[in-house]
């Protein structure tokens, strides 16, 4: 029950598929070879009418149908596809799914015939999966995440143009070596810093304070900024030597007025090896919650002092040295969970884990 609908089939070369009427059946040697890994989400969704933008069925379009909706893709890339999952990323994404996708992306990028990868993904947890791949996949070839906010059946559906831009970006020289990118609504963000900011608006992926890396315009990327934190080829985490068993349980505990230790204790009894404390303000820990975190640490749980506030950084204070907390830097709780899981796959050493949070 509630298992993500995950399946893998062999890569289908769209260029050889007679059933795909709008896609050229000849490989054009002057165009980049881009492989699309599909995960489901609203970009592959269908509703019942032109104004339905919520409550539609997610992940129903096949990879071929996704591509058929954008006939001009054949002019910018030779495309092949693999359906890795057809999930609603808000209800069904798991660490196992992320591992499976990262392995699939690594395998594709290691194949000299491919120039880049596009991943179509639901937007709810896109930023988490994208950051996971940014930290574990080793390649300088472009890796571009894309999705949509409106289902394929809606008026002004944003999926087709988003997909066109993502394929154009993945086929560009400019996108090489910049880590995992998120291409959405004509903008290019990096996986670490970009996050979903609107429940239903099409301009949802951004980082209001730190901005974007660039724009897509006329099917071309225009870059202005570079990510400086370690990613892809410079990362110590490596999907090639990792299985889902290496990823330990990390829970997020969200603080609020009138907080207490109940949720921390629940995480510890559920077997958490790490806790991200999404504190108020600059990472404040409620006085009634603190003893719970201290007891968790005594049991060997690693606690990251983070914040529920979307902007700004949490830096080390006396409370962190007194309690051996790690601080989250400027990572959101959901991105801190990804990094802590990966850090815990290598060490329990607090200083090393803090160094990871300072570098990634």
Q: Would you count residue 219 as binding ligand ASN (CB under 6 A)?
A: no
The distance of closest approach from Cβ of residue 4 to ligand ASN in the complex, given in angstroms and rounded to an integer, is 11
Assess contact for 244 and 96: CB atoms under 8 A.
Answer: yes
Marked catalytic residue, from 38, 42, 80, 232: 42
CA distance linking residue 254 with residue 231, whole number of Å: 28
Q: Would you count residue 328 as binding ligand ASN (CB under 6 A)?
A: no
Three-state DSSP string of 68-136: HCCHHHHHCCEEEEEEEEEECHHHHCCHHHHHHHHHHHHHHHHCCCCCEEEEECCCCCHHHHHHHHHHH
Collect all residues with Cβ–Cβ distance below 8 Å to 112 and sequence separation of at least 6: none
Q: Pick the binder of ligand ASN from 58, 98, 252, 275 (CB under 6 A).
A: 58
Q: Would you count residue 161 as binding ligand ASN (CB under 6 A)?
A: no
The reply, when asked if residue 89 is annotated as ligand binding, is: yes
Assess contact for 192 and 235: CB atoms under 8 A.
Answer: no
Q: Pick the binder of ligand ASN from 89, 136, 190, 232 (CB under 6 A).
A: 89
Phi first, then psi: give them for residue 251, nearest 5 degrees.
-110, 155
Q: Would you count residue 152 as binding ligand ASN (CB under 6 A)?
A: no
Q: How far from the centroid of its chain's Cα atoms is residue 198's Cα?
A: 16
The distance of closest approach from Cβ of residue 45 to ligand ASN in the complex, given in angstroms and rounded to an integer, is 7
Give the residue from 267, 260, 319, 264 showing the smallest Cα distance to 289.
260
Marked catalytic residue, from 12, 123, 153, 289: 123
315 in catalytic set: no
The distance of closest approach from Cβ of residue 360 to ligand ASN in the complex, given in angstroms and rounded to an integer, is 24
CA distance linking residue 224 with residue 238, whole number of Å: 29
Q: How far from the centroid of its chain's Cα atoms is residue 46's Cα?
A: 23
**Six-digit token string for 55:** 């409550």
Assess contact for 329 and 358: CB atoms under 8 A.
Answer: yes
Q: Would you count residue 153 as binding ligand ASN (CB under 6 A)?
A: no
Q: Would you count residue 292 as binding ligand ASN (CB under 6 A)?
A: no
Neighbours of 4 (CB within 10 A): 20
The SS3 assignment for 46 reads: strand
The distance of closest approach from Cβ of residue 8 to ligand ASN in the complex, given in angstroms and rounded to an integer, is 19
Q: Would you count residue 64 as binding ligand ASN (CB under 6 A)?
A: no
The reply, when asked if residue 152 is annotated as ligand binding, is: no
The distance of closest approach from Cβ of residue 203 to ligand ASN in the complex, given in angstroms and rounded to an integer, is 13
CA distance linking residue 105 with residue 132, whole number of Å: 12
Q: Would you count residue 127 as binding ligand ASN (CB under 6 A)?
A: no
Site string for ligand ASN, 29-48 (x = CB under 6 A): ------------xx------
Q: Would you count residue 83 as binding ligand ASN (CB under 6 A)?
A: no
307 in catalytic set: no
Q: Would you count residue 123 as binding ligand ASN (CB under 6 A)?
A: yes
The reply, when asked if residue 123 is annotated as ligand binding, is: yes
Residue ranges of the binding site for substrate = 89, 123-124
Instruction: List contacts with ligand ASN (CB under 6 A).
Output: 41-42, 58, 88-90, 122-124, 147, 149
Active site positions, annotated: 42, 123
Residue ranges of the binding site = 89, 123-124
């Amino acid at each position: 029950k509630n298992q993500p609908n995950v399946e893998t089939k062999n890569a289908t070369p769209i260029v050889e598929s007679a059933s795909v009427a709008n896609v050229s059946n000849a490989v054009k040697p002057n165009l980049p070879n881009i492989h699309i890994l599909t995960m489901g989400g609203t970009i592959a969704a269908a509703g019942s009418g032109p104004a339905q933008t919520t409550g539609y069925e997610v992940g129903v379009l096949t990879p071929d149908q996704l591509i058929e909706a954008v006939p001009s893709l054949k002019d910018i890339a030779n495309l092949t596809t693999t359906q890795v999952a057809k999930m609603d990323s808000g209800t069904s994404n798991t660490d196992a799914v992320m591992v499976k996708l990262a392995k699939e992306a690594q395998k594709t990028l290691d194949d000299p015939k491919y120039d880049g990868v596009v991943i179509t993904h639901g937007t709810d947890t896109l930023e988490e999966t994208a950051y996971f791949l940014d930290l574990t996949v080793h390649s300088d070839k472009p890796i571009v995440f894309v999705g949509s906010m409106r289902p394929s059946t809606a008026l002004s559906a944003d999926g087709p143009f988003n997909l066109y831009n993502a394929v154009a970006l993945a086929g560009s020289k400019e996108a090489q070596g910049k880590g995992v990118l998120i291409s959405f609504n004509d903008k290019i963000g990096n996986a670490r810093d970009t996050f979903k900011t609107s429940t239903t608006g099409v301009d949802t992926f951004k980082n209001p304070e730190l901005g974007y890396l660039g724009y897509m315009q006329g099917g071309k990327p225009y870059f202005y900024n570079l990510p400086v934190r370690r990613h892809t080829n410079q990362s110590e985490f490596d999907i090639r030597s990792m299985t889902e068993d290496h990823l330990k349980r990390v829970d997020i505990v969200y603080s609020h007025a009138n907080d207490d230790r109940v949720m921390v204790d629940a995480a510890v009894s559920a077997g958490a090896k790490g806790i991200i404390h999404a504190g108020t303000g600059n990472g404040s820990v409620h006085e009634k919650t603190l003893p719970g975190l201290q007891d968790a640490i005594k049991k060997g749980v690693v606690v990251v002092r983070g914040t529920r506030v979307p902007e700004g950084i949490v830096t080390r204070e006396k409370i962190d040295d007194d309690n051996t907390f790690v601080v989250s830097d400027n990572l959101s709780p959901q991105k801190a969970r990804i990094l802590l899981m990966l850090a815990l796959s290598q060490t329990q050493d607090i200083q090393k884990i803090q160094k990871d949070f300072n570098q990634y």
